[in-house]
Structure 1
Amino acid sequence: MLKRRAYYFHSLTTMHSLYLTLGLLLVSLGGSLGCRCAPLHPQTYFCNSDFVVEAKVLAKKAGNNQFGQEVKYIVEVLKDYKNSYQPIRGNIEIFTSGSGATCGAFFELKQKYLILGSTTRGVRITSSCSGNRLVTSLTTYQSKALRNGIYRNNCGCEIVDCTFRAECPTASKERCVIPDNSDNFCYFNKDACTRSRRGCSWDTRACRQPINNVYGK
């Protein structure tokens, strides 16, 4: 009888541990799936943002601002790519959520990033869906497009990525389209949608090459 009770207790303990493990796994998966954002063209990220700066991360502190952002980064602005007339200068505060599940952005101290975001009542906010990048990860074309104002000067042109869409609009004088049978990362890394007298069109022919030649810088 004692052996049966011991076996029963051991079985319950094992099942409890299994359920606890499964529960923690589901919570973990739920958190990781909480923030979802489709990748966009860098020009789209740029044009949708209120600020776009190259900055060095100096410190990370508790945020708790009026918009519920729990983390505050203090960064040194090295270059303002968005505002050419009244550029952001010096050290500024940028707020974000404290959790990856709610799209909080994470920056390593002393690293240089391209940071994008919105400004509300003077408070700058960013997220993991804002298009932030390590400066060292930018391609040659992306750096050129930022430095020479290619993104900034062509925000009137829309970019539609059709690589994962069943139905897609056609290209027009106001729109560039990434075709459904193409490599969208080539367009992200090596091209921009620019306006001429004939309307909006892709800036280069780089992404019309065979697919095995379009990666890299």
Structure 2
Amino acid sequence: MPWSPRAAPSWALLLRLLVLLWPPGLGESCSCAPAHPQQHICHSALVIRAKISSEKVVPASADPANTQKMMRYEIKQIKMFKGFEKVKDVQYIYTPFDSSLCGVKLEAGSQKQYLLTGQILGDGKVFIHLCNYIEPWEDLSLVQRESLNHHYHLNCGCQCPVPSQPQTSASGQTGCWNGSSMGTRLSIMSA
């Protein structure tokens, strides 16, 4: 891919994002703060259901001196839940090649479907990493699947507890969509 002045800001943004994602300390592994699925959906620019058609290692930059690599996954988009205003159809998603930089390993060439959340770069490329909400579609509960269409986007101002660490506000409400054995409910945090 030849270098162009228009592509420079996008690659610069991507490289800044990679630096921000680089964990402090040893820098040998990726670490992410746990988050509720609703917060992932609310804070992502793009949320799609997709199958991975193929994968290819590509340079992270047009600069030949930069040896960083990215994994480019070609996808078959099944459904877009969020991101319509920025992209119409996603053909490729990008992630760091190395897991130490929070790169994601997805199963290509199978019938496996994924829920993918990510960011859209200035040039329209979709970027994902381990700190995004990326789950095999079959592992999502019925409540989670329904919430993608009907509930998660309704209250993005809430502070959701991480499922393994339940917490509530003083009024006993979280403001997040929660499921229970008796059904589901949306509890709105009082202003």
Normalised-by-shorter TM-score class:
0.5 to 0.7
What TM-score results when the alignment is normalised by the length of structure 1?
0.59
Alpha-carbon shift at residue 86 of structure 1 (Å): 6.8
Gaps of 5+ in 2: 1-25, 63-67
Q: Does 1:112 align with 2:113?
A: yes
Larger helix share, 1 or 2: 1
Aligned residues: 155
| Distance (whole Å) between structure 1 residues aligned to residue 91 and residue 45 of structure 2 | 15
Deviations 1:160-211 (A, max 9, x none): 449669xx884469x7289xxxxxx978xx867654xx738xxxxxxxxxxx
Gaps of 5+ in 1: 1-29, 179-184, 201-217
Alpha-carbon shift at residue 154 of structure 1 (Å): 1.8
Q: Is contact 1:157–1:193 with CA below 8 Å preserved after alignment?
A: no
The structure showing larger relative contact order (alpha-carbon pairs under 8 Å, at least 6 residues apart) is 2
SS in 1 for 2:41: helix
What TM-score results when the alignment is normalised by the length of structure 2?
0.66
Q: Which residue pairs with 2:143 in the alignment?
A: 141
CA radius of gyration, larger in:
1
SS in 2 for 1:147: helix
Runs of 4+ aligned residues of structure 1 deviating over 2 Å after TM superposition are 65-69, 83-89, 160-165, 168-173, 190-195
Q: Does 1:36 align with 2:31?
A: yes
Q: Is contact 1:43–1:192 with CA below 8 Å preserved after alignment?
A: no
Deviations 1:25-83 (A, max 9, x none): xxxxx78x611113211001111111000001111012324495511001111111114
| Identity within the alignment, % | 24
Distance 1:154 1:98, change over 3 A: same
Alpha-carbon shift at residue 147 of structure 1 (Å): 2.8
| Distance (whole Å) between structure 1 residues aligned to residue 81 and residue 99 of structure 2 | 26
One-letter amino acid of the structure 1 residue matched with residue 31 of structure 2: R
| Distance (whole Å) between structure 1 residues aligned to residue 126 and residue 170 of structure 2 | 34
Q: Is contact 2:48–2:77 with CA below 8 Å preserved after alignment?
A: yes
Alpha-carbon shift at residue 99 of structure 1 (Å): 1.3
1:42-57 alignment, distance < 5 Å: 42-57=37-52
| Distance (whole Å) between structure 2 residues aligned to residue 119 and residue 157 of structure 1 | 23
SS in 2 for 1:142: helix
Distance 1:94 1:69, change over 3 A: farther
Q: Which residue pairs with 1:94 in the alignment?
A: 93
Q: Which residue pairs with 1:158 in the alignment?
A: 159
Structure 1 vs Structure 2 CA RMSD:
3.5
